Chain A
């Protein structure tokens, strides 16, 4: 049912809309182009600020399983799009420190999970403890670190975390369950993959290009009535990068 705009109308639309994209700094706003030419860092050269070397190795391996890269099929993966850099930067944000959350005791861990999380950890602590427990489990079960396991075994470990088949309490962590850690890791990985590159992930808006989200264009007055027609323009980012 969907129709593609024909080449003529697509070109006309591109020409017309190019003039709508401001290219100078906006009064009181953020310049749309100031950082557009700054290349996103290469993951291999990035020095993590929060995560230690061992934690970083775990994250690289885990992210690659959660959203596998181009090598594993179509579309960019978490490593292609700098998701681990996003995670590292989030740990130093208000979110990482749980600055907005109510973290006063007592911490009652016996209530219904439907009443929301009750463990006393900020996301920074969730990652530190979660990675340590997972590595301990991998050493006990497989005699190796997570990142040294083959892909299928890594997936089995991640599934074990997700389903709480890996018992954190028996490994010494009694306040937080394996699935609590896994859900942070998965949720944050998707956030890094799909949020604006200004936050460190979604390098060159590759994930947006894959799904067809135009990013921060935020102006569709001349498109809203074009029903069931594929939107022809690539995304722009908060920093003015165009894809």
Chain B
């Protein structure tokens, strides 16, 4: 018999961005809230200078990331391949511990476009029938720009977003992104400083007629006090950002922006090393009664709660739903069931350019340092004539200059005197042109439970089925050609490309992106979404699942701003309607 804890009004599974936001909002509503975090406690003191400035510890050994030992993902590229466990992290790096991925993220804080939120409607209007792959399963989010805009604005104020406004209430602003959706307020803070590579990229992109603007950043350019009274200090461009905790209170994180305010509240508590294995359901399966977790002593504990918020990483949210029997598991053959449906990702690619005589000083940078342009996001160019849907963020970013990760031309020896010579010659003389591309959802890109491998508590591992599809490979080729044109302007002494092209398959062995999305998507139709448009389970009404899992497909930019805005949107509905009258917020009909 499991040990039982006293009942709480709401239990939050996972204490990263979404868990911290929900904690704030639900305690505001007077609820007694408990968060359960399976990793360690982490505060800013854990990142105090100089601890975080250690590439081996954080950049290479992944000290802030999830341990596959605790919950690996098994991966296959198609339904016929045998999935194998990802025994050590590679293609993606989900966070672990208090703060989650929000503690180690790079800090690019950018909105989707209004079109991204209604991609299916856009596709129906812009593409002739038969142009797009017939196994594509794209959908609208079920929430509009105008509904989310106040929540973007609020979260950007929480983070001290730094950048250049492009569209203020419909008026285009000089230097910003002319393609951005209308903002109700300008960016809270001005953009970060440019670096050598961003200056070069900006000039070349403008010469080609594009509209570059500074990467929207949650590494703050100036001192900032946020709506919770939390203070951030100006970024000192330390060069240890993506994969690291911030040494300087400059990168927006749950720790820096929310948790110290939340921890003051008497109706909030959290426990670490509390690994939730499943949500418990009432006998009729229509409500959750709480969650079961394994505590730090390995004991099973039942935590009763009136509401359950699944706020762990997107992949684990889906796994918890599957392991708990919340909703019906997706079947790619009959196309029935919704949990595990529409897993999506992002596609990357780039051109490495080497300039013998230019000093880039790559170590002097903020994580989000860079410039991008949005001329190739959906609706801004004619992708239909090239046979694909989606878009890409085109950018030159310089997230770090840590030396173990120094890129070297492929034709240099990987060891021996030639390696040492190349390291000496090329370190600090490299810049990259990158594209980050959207990935649509497809019938066989999905998540379910692995039939073979289990975690240390005997629960099945999550199985991911994912491969690049023709649509994304066409997009990749198109964007490569555009980046080549920029490289031609910049004339490096040496360059080489890295893109996914026809015939390439997903590889887990090297880093791709930690923008894993979908699997428990939001929508307005219970036959193709696991959650309604308020992120409430269609099937178990007191379970809400904020996270990247809610994206019906992925867009071309970074997901955190949208994840946070959706979480505030969901919390608002919980506070305004659900608490007064607990039950389904949308009818299934």
Contact = CB atoms under 8 A, between A and B. Distances in A.
Contacts of B52: 218
Given A108-B84, A213-B401, A115 B48 contact: no
The SS class assigned to the B binding surface is loop
Contacts of B45: 28
A241 B518 CA distance: 47
Contacts of A106: 452
B364 A195 contact: no
Interface in B335-365: 355, 357-361, 363-365
B219 to A, nearest CB: 12
A111 B84 CA distance: 8
B88 A74 contact: no
Interface stretch (A36-44, A52-60, A167-175, A219-227): A219-227
A74 B236 contact: no
Interface in A22-51: 26, 28-30, 32
A32 B513 CA distance: 35
Most central of B45, B419, B421 by chain A CB within 10 Å: B419
B357 to A, nearest CB: 5
A29 B414 contact: no
Contact of B416 (A66, A207, A219, A227): A66
A8 interface: no
Interface stretch (A11-19, A130-138, A228-236): A228-236
The size class of the interface chain B forms with chain A is: 35 or more
Given A68-B417, A73-B421, A220-B236, A113 B509 contact: yes
A114 interface: yes
Interface stretch (B3-11, B134-142, B193-201, B581-589): B193-201
B416 A228 contact: no
A215 B239 CA distance: 10
Contacts of A103: 69, 87
B416 A238 contact: no
Contacts of A226: 361
B68 interface: yes
A211 B505 contact: no
B454 interface: yes
Contacts of B17: none
B424 interface: yes
A200 B194 CA distance: 36
Interface stretch (B30-38, B59-67, B224-232, B286-294): B59-67
B82 interface: yes
A29 B49 contact: yes
A65 interface: yes
B240 to A, nearest CB: 6
A195 B54 CA distance: 8
Interface string B231-250: 00011111110000001000
Given A32-B50, A73-B417, A116-B90, A220 B507 contact: no
Interface in B80-117: 81-88, 90
Contact of B427 (A66, A189, A212, A220): A212
A221 B82 CA distance: 50
A195 B452 contact: no
Given A104-B453, A155-B416, A207-B403, A114 B51 contact: no
B236 A211 contact: no
A156 interface: no
A2 B441 CA distance: 47
Contact of A218 (B53, B60, B62, B419): B53
Nearest to A225: B193
A219 B238 contact: yes
Contacts of B169: none
B410 to A, nearest CB: 15
A213 B358 CA distance: 15
A203 B222 CA distance: 37
B419 A194 contact: no
B236 A218 contact: yes
A100 B88 contact: yes
Nearest to A226: B361
A28 B43 CA distance: 12
Contact of B404 (A95, A186, A190, A229): A190
A84 interface: no
B424 A67 contact: no
B116 to A, nearest CB: 30
25 contacts: A2-B358, A26-B48, A29-B49, A30-B50, A67-B419, A73-B417, A74-B420, A103-B87, A108-B84, A114-B507, A116-B75, A116-B88, A117-B87, A118-B87, A158-B415, A191-B60, A194-B404, A195-B54, A196-B55, A213-B402, A221-B235, A224-B193, A227-B194, A238-B50, A238-B53
Given A216-B53, A226-B361, 10 more contacts: A2-B358, A26-B49, A66-B415, A75-B424, A99-B67, A99-B69, A103-B87, A116-B509, A158-B415, A216-B54
Interface of B: 45, 48-56, 60-62, 67-69, 72, 75-77, 81-88, 90, 193-196, 199, 234-240, 247, 355, 357-361, 363-365, 401-404, 406, 414-417, 419-421, 423-424, 427-428, 452-454, 505-509
Name the 6 nearest CB pairs between A and B, nearest first: A220-B364, A102-B72, A218-B238, A195-B56, A211-B427, A102-B68
